Structures are given as C-alpha cells and as structure tokens.
Amino acid sequence: MEMIKERAAPRVERLNEALGARMVGFDLSKPLSRSDIETILKAFAEHAVLVFHGQKLEPADLSRFTRHFGPLEVHHMAELPFPDFPEVRILSNVRKDGKLIGANRAGRHWHSDLSYLDETGLATFLYCVETPPAGGNTKFADMAAAYEALPKEMKRKVDGRTAIHDRNFRYSELYPDRKPLTPEQIAAVPPSEHPLVIQHPVTGRKALFVAKDVVSHIVGMEETESRALIDALEAFATQDRFVYSHPWQVGDLVVWDNRSTLHQATPYDEAEYRRIMYRTQCKGSVPIPAVA
C-alpha cells in the first residue's frame, strides 16, 4: 500500500506582542490549495508580517507565491540576476568577478518600500539563501499600533495632513557607497504626496505613513516644526513595543505589508560573512487617506 506522508495541518502563530505571525505547515515550493491561500491572505491582513521557516524555493516558486498577493512589480533599479524572472532581485554583499551579485546595504534606514511613488508598495517578499551568524536582521515596526497609541496632541497634528515622500531626499547620505544618482535617475523618480495617516484597504485600520529619511516635509507646515514632527513620529513608531526584529535562518521566507509597517535592515560583519537574499514585490496602489 502506498504510504501517504501526513503534513501537519497548517496553522498561524503570533510572533510576539508587537506584530507578525509564524506560518507553520505550508510548503511554498508547491502550488497552494485555495484554502491555504485564503488562510495566508487573511493572516497577512491581520498580522502584517508573515514568517515561513524551512522553505526550499527557486525563483519560479517565489514568483508564483508573490502573485497570490497582487501583480508582480519589476523594481525600477533592478539588476537582472535571473533573466527568466526579471521580478526576482538579489540582495547581497557577495561579489562575483569583482562585481556585487545584487544590491548591497539596501534599506538600512526605516522605510516603506516605494513610498515615494504614487502607487506605493504593497507586499515585499524576502527569501534567505545565506545569512551571517549574527546581525543582518530585518526589523519591522507596526505603524497601525503606533498610530493608535499616539498621544492626543500628536494625533491632532497628523490627522488630515499630507507629506512629501522623496527617494532623492537623502539618497547620497543613505547610500554613500553607491554611484550618485544621475540627473536622469533623479528626474525619473519625482517626489510624491501622501496622507500622513492612511487607511488599510482590507482591514480599515488606520496607520501612520512616515519615515524620517524618506519624507522631506509635511505639506503646509513650517520647516522646523515639520522636521521635528517627522523625526518624532518615526522615533515614536519604532519603539521596541511596536517592533519585531527577524533573525534570519536559511530557508526563511518573510512577507510584509508596506501599508501598515516600516522596516529596516541591520548591519553585520560584511568582511567576514555572506548574506544572500532573493526578493520580490507586488504592485501596490495609491494609499487611501484615513477619514477622521
């Protein structure tokens, strides 16, 4: 008689007090059942950061999984490590023939992916191929919980406001080891205006939408006050009580919701250790302003 290997029933476990869920019993290297997809999308809306351990994924698998969340985004500055899968990027410090095999030191500041475009990032997917024994974490901050916990007088300052997100604002400070952007590259990604408080299209939850190194100013606010408020909002939202820091293991796939979280990569000993991540993203939409 043929033995049928029993798979553990899929389940969703909370990661920590702040946010995130561990997804147990899913094999993302195979097409998923309808009910698994529903479970995953529901958990995504509810927990914002999903962690799947022990995966064995090829670029095709990552691509297929990403498409359950929305249409694929081909990153505007992407190198093409997998010509058949232009949507799959590599993040790494590894060099081949003297050339980096992917983007290095990406996202070392708090941000929401593509927040500087009119249609901002929806879900981002990172799959760990190689990781250093320490450091190289990805931290996530819960911008919905942060908004809810905001002191009244701060809430009054942000409600109904908009802010300018600008990829070019601090690019050269954030990426000192990269070639400066050319005038053409700068012109290709103009700033974009978004509400400071946005509403999640699925859950209806309100979230802060701000990051100090990407938001250049708050519209209609005096410069000094605007800078102080932007810095204070990020500092408030990234307190430990709103943050989950993911320590990577080979085979982890993490997906996060850019509409309700910020994230940041932490440093590691790049001279000593290798870090290789595959990355995809799906296309977002114009953020919805929160109604008071």
Ligand X SMILES: O=C(O)CCC(=O)C(=O)O
Q: Which residues bind ligand X (CB under 6 A)?
A: 91, 106-107, 113, 124, 126, 138, 263, 265, 277, 279
The CA radius of gyration of the chain, in Å to the nearest whole number, is 19
Q: Which one of Fe ion, ligand X, none interacts with residue 261, CB within 5 to 8 A by kind?
A: none
78-108 in b/e form (b: 16+ CB < 10 A) is beeebeebebbbbbbbbeeeeebbbbbbbbe
DSSP state, 135?
-
- Minimum Å distance from CB 264 to ligand X? 7
The helix/strand/coil state of 92 is strand
Separation CA 158–CA 209 (nearest Å): 10
Closest residue to ligand X: CB criterion: 107
Tell the smallest beta-carbon distance from residue 69 to ligand X (Å).
15
Q: How far is the CB of 138 from ligand X (least distance, A)?
A: 4
Nearest distance, CB of residue 121 and Fe ion, angstroms: 8
Nearer to Fe ion, 26 or 244 (CB): 244
Q: Are 41 and 198 in contact (CB under 8 A)?
A: no
Q: Which does 259 bind (CB under 5 to 8 A by kind): ligand X, Fe ion, none?
A: none
Q: Give ∠ CA 54-112-275 in degrees, rounded to 5.
A: 40
- 257: closest CA among 140, 97, 83, 131? 140
In whole angstroms, the minimum distance from the beta carbon of 204 to ligand X comes to 26
The CB-of-95 to Fe ion minimum distance in angstroms stands at: 22
Handedness of CA 284, 289, 291, 292 (dihedral sign): positive
- Mask for 112-151, x = binds Fe ion (CB under 5 A): -x--------------------------------------
Alpha helices by DSSP H, the chain: 34-47, 59-66, 143-149, 152-158, 171-174, 183-188, 223-237
Q: Which does 138 bind (CB under 5 to 8 A by kind): Fe ion, ligand X, none?
A: ligand X
Judged by beta carbon, residue 206 or residue 279, the one nearer ligand X is: 279
| From 102-110, 195-203, 254-262, 278-286, span contacting Fe ion (CB under 5 A) | 102-110
Task: Specify the residue, 146 or 229, whose C-beta has the smaller distance to Fe ion.
Answer: 146
What is the Cα–Cα distance from 25 to 29, expressed in whole angstroms?
Answer: 12
By CB under 5 A, tell whether 107 contacts Fe ion: yes
DSSP one-letter code for 240: G
Answer with the entry of Fe ion, ligand X, none that 279 interacts with (C-beta below 5 to 8 A by kind).
Answer: ligand X
| Min dist. Cβ of residue 48 to ligand X (A) | 15
User: Which residues are at the interface with Fe ion (CB under 5 A)?
Assistant: 107, 113
